[in-house]
Structure 1
Amino acid sequence: MAGDDVVYTATRLTEKYPNAYSDFYGSATPCVYKSGPDWPGIVREPRPVHGHAIQLAWVSIGTRICDELESVGIIWTSVNPLAYANAGEPKPFCPLIICVGVNPGSLLYEAAVAAAAVVKNILTDAGFPDIEVAFIESVVTRFTGPKLLSFNSLVDRVPDLRKPLTPHSYPYDEGSAALYFRLSKDDDGVVVLACAHVARPLPVYPNTGMTHKKGSQHREEIVMLGTMGYDNAIKAMMATIGDRLQSIDAWNNVLRKLGGPVEGERENVTESRDEHLDLVAKVTRVIQKRTIGFVLHSEKTEVSAESYKFTKDWAHIELYNDKIDWTTFKGNKLWVGGKLSISEYGNMMFPQSQDRKNYSYLEDGLLRAYDFVREAEMHNPQQLDVHGEKCLLIVKNGLTTGTTVGRVNGLESFRRVYEDHGISHKSLEIAVLPYDKTHGKFSDAGDSGSVVLDRGGRIVGILTGGSGTTDKTNITYLTPYWWVEEQVKAKFPGCSLYEVVHYIRHELNTLNK
């Protein structure tokens, strides 16, 4: 049913479906077909779904939708259950619609109409005949690139290891770490949580997972790419390190050709050898200076054994103690300044007057990460948005998009990855929607690995990717932290979030001895 060779033209959708660009007007989302009544061409914005009667059965219903779409030949990329409102209006005019994403140009109108009937039948069987379905063109991406901006713009000396990180031997796939952990109360080792695809990028490393064996001499070291403040500067640093590694190889080739010192050799040969030895030594020192740790553990990137679960994609990087200035280290904190003024941040994250009674802006604009949001609250949040609707408001700081705020959807999304470095899987995701039409997207390429917090500092999840048109991200995906912690604790039972107080107590104990 899916057309593999559909010709892509500006009018190819409207010829069969006139509402192709008006159904989701304002989002630039092309619609192949939507069931139900027409939606007038008014600027729309997606809203999260909370408290809907479908909630308890949604994962089961969504799984059936995905499976039956595949059985009729629909190559879907995402399934997002969303509400829609006219921009600025308090109440959604559509409390829930199932948006099925397909790659641009891959689905014919007739096939979409037939597939919509399949989905409608499933919803009717489940007791929800009034829920409509839309087939939209949407590309699913995994965000890669430099990630988190420094969490303290006021104090340059504060170390921020959530800067772009990259494998020492392959500094071309960069990423960031999300949170700091102690391995156990009896172990002074500190690790940072990162994405496995950052710590051991494919296809450089096999997708097998690994754990560093204690006492082993071989280490897969990680390089910190510096204190750059802008995306282009970090990319330049990456290119520089990559070029230098290539230069080292070239210089070593020259040295091999020159051979070892020979008594009576020509002076220019000796000078050339000394010059290349000096070049290798200088560049090696630069790279070694930026080596801050090694991969302690990396998961095999895969979905859990059961169908439609969250993706295992995490790694622990153990830090070299002598590379960190622990006296200035502030722990797990997120800088929320930059793009948002003090008043704007307060009004957006605490929009209700009763919420602002005890609110004061964060010291130095730093939000401390602690505890985490449980699964039940992600489905049924107790915070209120500007319209008085229940909502889980969140914040992150990514290098590409800076400080942004958004809303967590209460129903899980489904995402399908088709053959990415030999990995093909279907998984559950938590969708994050933009705060509103005015403030734009929550994230973009380069924000992967960013930690996402609620307004009080509780950890919500780790950002992994998004979906939208080829040049625009409309929906961000994250892996919920409650699930990540379960995976981490299974491998490292004594692991806990790093608290600065641990270091202070250690120093006091040392002084009192």
Structure 2
Amino acid sequence: METNVLSLLLMPLQPAHNDPFQTLALLRTQVMSLSLAAETNLDPAFLAACVDASYPSLSYVSSSSSVSSSSSDDTVASPTASLIPSPTATLVSSTGLAASKTRFVSEEEHMSHLLAKYPAAITDFYGSGTSCVYKTGPAWPVAQGPQSQKIMRAARPIYKHGIAPIWLDTAWSIVAELETLQVDWNAVDPLAYANAGQAALICEFVITIGVKPRSLAYEAAVAAAEVVDGILDVAGFPEIQVAFIESVYRRQGKLMGFDPTYELQGIPGLRKPFTPTLGLAIAPYKLPYYEGTGGLYLRLNTDQSDKRTVLLTCAHVAHPAPLFDNQEYTRKFDSQPREDIILLGGGSFDDSVKDIMKFIGYQSRAIASWETPLRRIPEPAESEAVDVTAKRKELTYLITAAKDKIRAANELHSHVTKNHTTTASRLFGFILHCAKIEVGSDGFMYDWALIQIDDDKVEMKDFKGNQVFVGGNKTAADWEDYMFAQLHDRHDFHVPDDLLLQIQDYVREAEFRDPQNYDVHNAKNLLAVKNGRTTGTTFGRVNGLESITRHHSEQGIETKAVEIIVCGYDTKTGENEKFSDEGDSGSMVVGRDGRIIGLLMGGGGSTAKTDKTYITPFYALKKEIEKKYPKAFVLPADA
């Protein structure tokens, strides 16, 4: 059916707020979309829906959406994934120090109470969404005047501190005292802090103790801090500060090939989610809304006759609680029923399709913005000024390039919606082994599983193996600016070809303590990158001291484990990007040289944010995997 200008103008528009300028801009762009649809061979209604999707502050109703809003077939990806409780959410039991629960206390009332007792409750860790119940030591600086709460804090790693040789013993002593006092803690983290974007530290060492929100009264926090101070004083480090913060710990057809070499700018990031490239979003076939990330490809045997390829992820991704008991599982025989795994669970598939539509919408709006000034430029003339000719060429080039991108994105959208809409069409392997989630003799948390890949679901000629895509939401310039920020630290400088970083080897324990990279502030760090299901490509800094975390499983079983924090990478602009979020569990964290750092296990922060990311270092996890598969090895580049 032919769509005319009037029908486009009459498409349902329901702005989330009354902004006449944005609404008029949208109407103008939809009128423009008629001619653009013809030139790019897109359905006009679909193009209009893409334009709608590209406005982040408005919500629209359009019958042309390519993703079903409801379905009785549970094998079809549903946009209601966000309504399903996340398997990574952790409930922490209350303690004897918990505030009274005889009546509901609003968030505003709770914050008012915190501020009345401790005025720096918001400013101490501003930007993380974390409230501070109490902190020892000197007050941290705040901006004066009406913007006093606008200084964003950034966690920084600690290396080569004098307490390092006795840190874990000290931390376990702190944990023991906290439990004697019945403090409902979930993490003991050793960190430094700075104002985001600044090199100078405002605190060289603070032990942040995460407690369940609303569980610890101010007076109890002060008393507990005095006990921790006593431990630090005996250890010889009375200057270390202690902070009690409100926080939770969270466990967070053939597939398409991926070759960004010849693709137009922006398209590889849209294609990547539908490929087996590392950082792939995965979910159990029967539970498509319990999503995580696949982080590393392994081979199980050095015997050339055994060509099995397996994908390393977290056990809580393969067997999400409470739907599975925490028990070891291995598929030993072909006669055993398969526990299938799919690429892209319900939420990830919906988001990835919408991203394609948004991209088309952005390009359409850009074309509209370029065509207006182009129409004002007169027809070419022999005597016209050089800058007029140059401007015409520039705008014409931009418009042509954008139209080419729209065509490429539309082809991708068509392929995806025709071939990968059902969960069955995205099946790519099965659970070979799922370890019991438990703390090892070394204190580290071991939470891992292996997914055996179906060879017939992967185009091996385009299979990138152990290459991490560090593009998408990051550029080659970002890689250079943040991973090789200092000129004196470029002995191994490189920008990965096509932004695909080849994984090779792993970082040894000694380098966690004594890193050799330099960040934007010219401070020594172990710099890290990961690509995950939720946050895509992010950069971070790995801490040099271990944290102790406490987790209560869905079955109420408590575990305390040693883990290592990866801090977000704050830049000189004052931005402090988080390293991960729920759904990124199972991602592999690697160094700028491609060496493996660790497996992403979960995160901590306020109930709405992930401020800290926890990993199990690969130097430890490797030994655990080899106990089950002694000949397992990381899939090499030439496999």
Q: Same fold (TM over 0.5)?
A: yes
Distance (Å, rounded) in 2 between the aligned partners of 1:27 and 1:221: 37
- Is 1:299 matched up with 2:435? yes
- Is 1:213 matched up with 2:332? yes
Determine if contact 2:288/2:346 at 8 Å carries over to the other structure.
no
TM-score (norm 1): 0.81
Q: Which residue of 2 aligns with 1:23?
A: 124
Determine if contact 2:469/2:531 at 8 Å carries over to the other structure.
yes
Cα 1:45–1:223 change in 2 (3 A) is closer
Distance (Å, rounded) in 2 between the aligned partners of 1:25 and 1:286: 43
- 3-state secondary structure, aligned to 2:317: helix
- Is 1:412 matched up with 2:546? yes
Distance (Å, rounded) in 1 between the aligned partners of 2:248 and 2:439: 20
- 3-state secondary structure, aligned to 1:21: coil
Cα 1:105–1:199 change in 2 (3 A) is same
Cα 1:230–1:294 change in 2 (3 A) is closer
Residues 105-504 of structure 1: pairs in structure 2 closer than 5 A: 105-143=214-252, 154=268, 159-160=276-277, 162-186=279-303, 187-225=306-344, 232-233=351-352, 288-305=424-441, 309-356=443-490, 359-436=493-570, 437-502=574-639
Determine if contact 1:163/1:227 at 8 Å carries over to the other structure.
no
- Is 1:68 matched up with 2:205? no
Determine if contact 2:526/2:542 at 8 Å carries over to the other structure.
yes
Q: Residue 170 of structure 1: CA displacement? A: 3.2
Q: Residue 332 of structure 1: CA displacement? A: 0.5
Q: Which residue of 2 aligns with 1:276?
A: none
Determine if contact 1:406/1:435 at 8 Å carries over to the other structure.
yes
- Is 1:5 matched up with 2:100? yes
Cα 1:195–1:18 change in 2 (3 A) is same
Distance (Å, rounded) in 2 between the aligned partners of 1:342 and 1:19: 39
Determine if contact 1:222/1:294 at 8 Å carries over to the other structure.
yes
Distance (Å, rounded) in 1 between the aligned partners of 2:174 and 2:240: 13
Q: Residue 122 of structure 1: CA displacement? A: 0.6
Q: Residue 347 of structure 1: CA displacement? A: 1.4
CA RMSD of aligned residues (A): 2.7
Q: Residue 400 of structure 1: CA displacement? A: 2.0
Distance (Å, rounded) in 2 between the aligned partners of 1:389 and 1:460: 19
- Structure 1 stretches lacking a partner, 5+ long: 144-149, 237-282, 503-513
**Runs of 4 or more above 6 Å deviation:** 226-230
Distance (Å, rounded) in 2 between the aligned partners of 1:326 and 1:175: 24
Letter in 1 for 2:499: G
Q: Residue 2 of structure 1: CA displacement? A: 1.3
Q: Which residue of 2 aligns with 1:263?
A: none
More helix by share: 2
Determine if contact 2:277/2:467 at 8 Å carries over to the other structure.
no
- Structure 2 stretches lacking a partner, 5+ long: 1-95, 144-150, 253-257, 261-266, 356-418
TM-score (norm 2): 0.66
Number of aligned residue pairs: 449
Distance (Å, rounded) in 2 between the aligned partners of 1:71 and 1:297: 38
Distance (Å, rounded) in 1 between the aligned partners of 2:495 and 2:479: 8
Determine if contact 1:77/1:100 at 8 Å carries over to the other structure.
yes
For residues 90-120 of structure 1, the C-alpha deviation after alignment (integer angstroms, 9 at most, x for no partner) is: 2313210111111111111110110001100
Letter in 2 for 1:60: D
Distance (Å, rounded) in 2 between the aligned partners of 1:231 and 1:288: 15
Q: Residue 435 of structure 1: CA displacement? A: 0.7
Cα 1:185–1:26 change in 2 (3 A) is closer
Q: Which moved more, 1:414-423 or 1:475-484?
A: 414-423
Cα 1:230–1:318 change in 2 (3 A) is closer
Identity %: 46
